[in-house]
Copies of this chain bind each other. A is one copy, B any other.
Amino acid sequence: MGTAVRNPTEESGETARIEAFSDGVFAIAITLLVLDLKVPRDATGGSHLLRALLAQWPTYLAFLTSFATIGIMWINHHRLFTLIRRSDHTLLLLNSLLLLGVTFVPFPTALVAAYVQRRGDRVAALVYSGTFTVIAVVFNLLWRYACHRHRLLHSRADAAMVRAITRAYAFGPPLYLLSFGLAWVSVPASLATNVALALFFALPNRSR
């Protein structure tokens, strides 16, 4: 392996490759989540298997929440890159940091699924909300870096839309931090907040 030769700002084709690579990482991370759903072993007997499957409900909930959250992150990521048209080394690094967060998601998901309703659930919930908090912060950093003085934006990017995105993204970190804090008080409340945030961000909002 060599070293990254710096090329201050690269042409629009460059962001196409970043998007393609990121799409790949998002697609794989979202699909790997299913590996956390385990087939109950030796639960023979119809009612036994059904009961064993139902007993795994935290696994399904974690799967759904993480799926929704990664899905929303993908929608956001590719919305941003309809506005971002140039790339530099810092953007590549921030995007890599974001992808690091995305590829990590299956781990806290498995952690929550394994420890919910058992002792240790607080630690699992903290790691889960903490991961999303960090990702939300990196998302803001990436966007603010790209749109600072229109640095890397499409020349025709609408200023009102840029401001609207900046405003909307600012909600992410404090809301996930709230979920992180809630985990100290009530683990179910913290997890429910993550579900609610995924649903909230998934719904279209005319005013945003």
Contacts and interface: CB of A to CB of B under 8 A. Distances in A.
A69 to B, nearest CB: 7
A103 B6 contact: no
A195 interface: no
A5 B165 contact: yes
Contacts of A121: 46
A4 B49 contact: no
A78 B20 CA distance: 11
B78 A6 contact: no
A149 interface: no
Interface in A58-98: 64, 67-69, 71-76, 78-79, 82, 89-90, 92-93, 96
Q: How many A residues touch the partner, as a band? A: 35 or more
Given A32-B31, A103-B31, A205 B3 contact: yes
Interface string A117-143: 011111110010000100110011001
Contact of A169 (B2, B67, B111, B123): B2
A177 interface: no
A27 B34 contact: no
B28 A31 contact: yes
A21 B28 CA distance: 10
A4 B201 contact: yes
Nearest to A90: B204
Contacts of A93: 202
A72 B30 contact: no
A167 to B, nearest CB: 9
B44 A114 contact: no
Contacts of A64: 100
Interface of A: 1-7, 10, 13-14, 17, 19-21, 23-35, 37, 39, 41, 43-46, 48-50, 53, 64, 67-69, 71-76, 78-79, 82, 89-90, 92-93, 96, 99-100, 103-104, 106-107, 110-111, 114-115, 118-124, 127, 132, 135-136, 139-140, 143, 161, 164-165, 168-172, 176, 200-202, 204-206, 208
